[in-house]
A = this chain, B = another copy of it.
Amino acid sequence: MRGTSARSDAPVLLPPGVTDEAFAAAREQFAAAVGAEHVLSSAEELAEFRDPFAFATWDEYTGSAVVMPQSVEEVQEVVRIANRLRIPLWVHGQGRNNGYGGPAPRLRGSVILSLRRMNRVLEIDEDCAYAVVEPGVRWFDLYDALRAGGHRLMVSIPDLGRGSVVGNFLENGVTYLPAAQDMAAYCGMEVVLANGDVLRTGMGAMPGNRAWHVYKRGLGPTLDQLFMQSNFGVVTRLGVWLTPWPECYMPLSLRAGKDDDLGPIVDTLRTLMLDRTIENVPQLWNAVAMASILSSRAPWYQGDDPMPDQAIDRMARELGIGRWTMRFALYGDEAVVDHRFAKVKAAFERIPGVEVRGEKHAPEAMDGLQHPFDRVQAGVPNLDIDQMTGWYGGEEGGHIGFSPVGRLTGRDAVEMRDVIRGLVEREARLDYAAVLIPTNARSFIHVTMVIFDTKDEAQTKRAYDTAKLLVREAATYGFGEYRAHLDFMDLAAEQYSFNDHAYRRFAETIKDAVDPNGILSPGKQGIWPRSMRNGA
């Protein structure tokens, strides 16, 4: 592993290389900057800021304190203190990064810079359909603000509504409305740099420019994506593009009986996305993944070996979910939705046994819809599928996401399914649970759910080991992750090795230039500051 060595022998948890005196001074100065009540450091308080799925006694990814500023000025002050005293900060908006490590820091002993208290919706622009939010604003909060203001505007949301809007964008998180293809529904940010300076991107760099949150570039290089999945700055506000309510909303569901229907489904889907008949971001669930939100494993199979196809077939049939289920939706004028529904249905139902269903709704009815899929695709946040991880019947389900990217063709999807299923079943002896998410017409993210019981240390350890094995093995097929869990960020980044790691070396060059003391989120996505690289 790159980065610092663990300090499991240290009686008091401190950031590496930081003395007791320096840490005490930092805590005092942080308290002066944000108020003593917004600096947390008891073991009890810190417990909330762990990877929620790590086994209870593991402490490799534990912070030393949490600092919670409420304004840009307070963030600047915290960063300046950290810079002076060389305190590593691990930054999050809400810290709901479940499956990828939650709010926990990569570097043990980091001070967690939590932006949960910066929770204002700064602006909702009805004309140009956008909102501007601080990093502590949750999907629930933004949705509530839209409803409270009477805006007939939708926000593209992820499956669980409790996370930070900004945090999701910064992790390249997926959401499901048409505006969110390629994770593109952001525009214009404000960033506090490692030296405490405040930067505004794009048109925001010009005083008085009103195009900050409507035009995605600036004059000169555009920096926004440089601050995503990185540790080059602390994003303190972000523009988010909204969508006016359509005349008609039609969530759709596709059910396929055979595992090998995957190929033709994906080829048909690509054609319908390329010609913009399907404009949103679909999800394609295999039977085990779908069953895990409806049922558990025991009624269908009791063996210790991976669930065989016969048992999966029977389960799929009896639960009425098919081997593959796709959720997607149409939005627009009723005449266009009608035309598209007929076209989509005819196209997919050319595959024997495949069935497409849907029902039209007026936008006023969206927030009363029952099925969580229908609500999510309408931008109505909820937590309904949070309990999908009790598959193995444990007390408390956890999951790790292993999420490589593939080309959206039938051939590529089937190959990736076979490779990953093979690895999961052969090497980890687990059931293969997958959700394929085409984030545009040409590619998809293969979210592999490694499910386990967080109360069972051996099973939890096996799950984490399995994920690492998947990262390594899948890379030999050219499959790389879109986002990596804390526990294998270095390993995942290691796979992007073209030309002796030219990409990582370039990212490190930028890191050293813009954060010479290496205080911002050391190790994030495999990017370490100079002082912590190569085992230093």
**Measuring CB to CB, which residues of chain A are less than 8 angstroms from any residue of chain B?**
127-130, 172, 178, 182-184, 187, 193, 197-201, 203-211, 214-230, 232, 241, 243-244, 246, 270-271, 274-277, 279, 332-333, 335-336, 339-340, 343, 405-409, 412, 439-443, 475, 477-484, 492-493, 495-499, 502-507, 509-510, 512-514, 525-527
Contacts of A208 in B (CB 8 A): 477-478
Contacts of A130 in B (CB 8 A): 442
Q: Given A214-B443, A407-B214 in contact, is the A483-B219 Cβ separation under 8 Å?
A: yes
Docked Cα-Cα span, A228 to B222, in Å, equals 7
Residue of B nearest to A232 (CB): B221
Q: Given A128-B409, A204-B498, A206-B496 in contact, is the A274-B211 Cβ separation under 8 Å?
A: no
Is there contact, CB below 8 Å, between B274 and A507? no
Q: In this complex, which of A207, A244, A495 has the most chain B Cβ atoms within 10 angstroms of its Cβ? A: A207
Is there contact, CB below 8 Å, between A207 and B336? no
Q: In this complex, which of A187, A276, A279 has the most chain B Cβ atoms within 10 angstroms of its Cβ? A: A276
Q: Given A206-B475, A336-B339 in contact, is the A200-B480 Cβ separation under 8 Å?
A: no
**How far is the CB of A182 from the nearest CB of chain B, in Å?**
5
Docked Cα-Cα span, A127 to B229, in Å, equals 30
Is there contact, CB below 8 Å, between B127 and A409? yes
Q: Given A128-B408, A207-B497, A211-B443 in contact, is the A506-B225 Cβ separation under 8 Å?
A: no
Contacts of A128 in B (CB 8 A): 270, 407-409, 441-443
Docked Cα-Cα span, A184 to B217, in Å, equals 11
Docked Cα-Cα span, A364 to B274, in Å, equals 19
**How far is the CB of A221 from the nearest CB of chain B, in Å?**
4
Q: Given A216-B182, A333-B343 in contact, is the A221-B226 Cβ separation under 8 Å?
A: yes
Contacts of A224 in B (CB 8 A): 225
Residue of B nearest to A275 (CB): B244
Q: A182-B216, A336-B336 are in contact. List 8 more A-B contacts (CB 8 A).
A: A182-B184, A193-B502, A203-B405, A210-B478, A215-B439, A221-B527, A275-B333, A509-B513
The answer, among B129, B217, B270, for a CB contact under 8 Å with A482, is B217
Is there contact, CB below 8 Å, between B332 and A200? no
Residue of B nearest to A187 (CB): B442
Is there contact, CB below 8 Å, between B229 and A478? no
Residue of B nearest to A342 (CB): B335
Q: Given A127-B409, A200-B502 in contact, is the A184-B184 Cβ separation under 8 Å?
A: yes
**How far is the CB of A219 from the nearest CB of chain B, in Å?**
6
In order of increasing CB-CB distance, the 6 nearest A-B pairs are A513-B513, A208-B478, A214-B442, A221-B230, A205-B503, A205-B496
